[in-house]
Structure 1
Amino acid sequence: MMNPEVAPGPFTDLDRFVFESWGYLVIPDVLTPAEAEEAYEASKRLHASRERAFGQIGQGYHTEPSLERLIDHAAVLPKVRGLFGDRFILQASWNTMQPAHAGVGGWHQDGSSAYNFNQVGYPVPLIQLRASFLLTDQLEPGTGNMELIPGSHRSQVPLPADIRAERGDTPIGHVICAPIGSVLLFHNGVWHRTYRHDGDRDRYTAHYVYSPPWVRAADRFANSEDFLERTTPMRRALMGEFERPDAPYGASYQPLPFG
């Protein structure tokens, strides 16, 4: 199946059409193999102290420079800006590990189980935009890929409960096959799951989730003062460090310091 591939950098009218139609984009060649390998090794360090099972860890940018650099990557941030405008934050950063020889994950939409985004309106609004950096080659199915259902962010009905309960297949599932260093950028409303991993090497993926400035951060209760002090002005702004985010609806939040 074809991939909705777009060029890195500026968000074009065609990018918008493809994203609105499918709910996701694939940006190839964002990281070099060496950069991806550096981020892979950083990911291994993050997960070293936990059990070897599927899981995720937040705030890896605090200790790993190779992961911090991805927060505002020049190939990706213009896409986020094109969809959100000049006011958005890094709502969360999750580093996920799928162990070798693992099965498929469960179908879901991203959001909050406390109040699902599909309760806000139809179509499901864009509240979380996820950029997933592939740190391993996923050139064929069964390599820890992501599987998505194209256009499902606009479906008026949910994925059937029996499919979700059984982690079953669908005739329109799209397994993303892309080389190391690619980025998958997708809408929170797209139904997706982790596809099986038949390989011998654990799969790590670095995820960066962007949201409107009034959305509460998910990987932290507060920002690290040490991190804010040493990082760049853009990354500091993306952490959502502004006065009175509730006054009203982030009105006091200044646009990000784009050049």
Structure 2
Amino acid sequence: MSAETYAGLNALSEPGEFTELDRFMFESWGYLVIPNVLTAEEAQECLEAATRLHEKEGTTGWAQVGRGFETEPVLDRLIDHPAVLPKVRALYGDRFILQSAWCTKQPAFGGFGGWHQDGSGAYDFKQLGYPIPLLQLRASFLLTDQSLPRMGNMEMIPGSHRAQVPLPQDIRREKADLPIGQVICAPAGSVLLFHNAVWHRTYVHDGDYDRYTMHYIYSPPWVRFSDRFENDKDYLARTTPVRRYLAGEYERPDAPFGAGYPAAAFDDKKDN
């Protein structure tokens, strides 16, 4: 199958505004692909930052490192990127947090990942109701080229966030192929925005280099952080008010989500 055929199957969106077509595609398939959010130079800078994070942690094999935005300014700037943030706000309203930010590395010649839905290991989101609610909205910035299959792409099962039955256990155990799996093909600098309940996996990687992706996960304000126990105070002092708000740092003068919950910090003139 050609790259053009794969690209034609993607729910393609434009940077910025969350359009009515975006909403229909997201509700129908559970994800959007936004090509060319970052320039080649910006993607390279973010790739270098991602590599530093993993080198500092000494990771091997498939690995992920959290909260890199606290030490890498180029990754901090992606938290409220104007190509993505309006879509997050359209889905959540203006009160949500950055629950986590994971920088993942798939090693050279890496194999298939396992089929899964995102969620909490402590409490399965499907227990909350049907359809599974949007509790983790993931914006994945591709930092290495994934414009062809077998480049460490994400593979999605479109519409599976609405499925009333789980993916069969034998398919999950064997990491088997599915006729309805969609391999996401997009160049470095593109963003995949998807619902936590979409079944997905990491596709095989044939390259002789490590594949990096920077994931930003947005959640309702009462969801606990998953990549940190608290925010770094030095980071909070130097970042912007919007990012500090998204990091979950704000005053709660009476009760956690009572009348004293602060107004949103967004400046629409900048974000739209």
The TM-score normalised by the length of structure 2 is 0.92
Give me the whole-angstrom Cα distance separating, in 2, the residues matched to 1:159 and 1:131.
23
Distance 1:190 1:237, change over 3 A: same
**Residues 250/106 of structure 1: CA separation in 2 closer, same or farther (3 Å cut):** farther
| Superposed CA RMSD | 1.4
Of 23, 42, 45, 1:38 maps to 45
Provide closer, same or farther for how the CA distance between residues 184 and 238 of structure 1 changes in structure 2, counting only shifts above 3 A: same
Cα separation, partners in 2 of 1:108 and 1:234, compared to 1, 3 Å = same
The counterpart of 1:164, out of the listed 159, 172, 176, is 172
Q: How far does residue 52 in structure 1 lie from its aligned partner after superposition?
A: 2.4
Give ranges in structure 2 of 5+ residues lacking alignment: 1-5, 268-272
2:46 counterpart SS class: helix
Question: 1:248: Cα distance to partner?
Answer: 5.4
Evaluate the alpha carbon distance shift between residue 251 and residue 118 of structure 1 in structure 2; reply closer, same or farther with a 3 A threshold: farther
Q: Secondary structure at the match of 2:213?
A: strand
Distance 1:252 1:147 in 2: 42
Report the equivalent of 1:202.
Answer: 210
Sort the Cα spacing of 1:214 and 1:245 in 2 relative to 1 into closer, same or farther, 3 A: farther
Identity %: 68
Distance change (3 Å), C-alpha of 1:135 and 1:245: farther
Paired position in structure 1 for 2:12:
5
Q: What is the SS of the residue equivalent to 2:101?
A: strand
Secondary structure of residue in 2 paired with 1:105: coil
Q: Does the alignment pair 1:96 with 2:115? A: no
Q: How does 1:85-164 map to 2 (within 5 A)?
A: 85-164=93-172
Within the candidate set 23, 26, 32, 1:16 is matched to 23
Per-residue deviation, 1:62: 1.2
Aligned length: 259
Partner of 1:69: 77
Corresponding residue for residue 250 of structure 2: 242
CA–CA separation in structure 2 for the residues paired with 1:23 and 1:128: 12
Contact kept, 8 Å, 1:92 with 1:209, in 2: the verdict is yes
Write the letter of the residue equivalent to 2:223.
Answer: V
Partner residue, 1:84: 92
Deviations 1:194-230 (A, max 9, x none): 0000011110000000001010011110111111111
Give yes or no for contact 1:213–1:250 (8 Å, CA) kept in 2: no
Separation (CA, whole Å) in 2 of partners of 1:116 and 1:37? 36
Unaligned runs of 5+ in 1: none
Structure 2: how far apart are the matches of 1:79 and 1:157? Answer: 28
| Maintained 8 Å contact 1:99/1:201 | yes
CA contact (8 A) 1:96 1:206 kept: yes
Residues 7-30 of structure 1, C-alpha deviations (whole Å, 9 max, x = no match): 100111111111000000000110
Structure 1 pair 232–3 and aligned structure 2 pair: CA distance change class (3 A):
same
Task: Give the TM-score, by structure 1 length.
Answer: 0.97
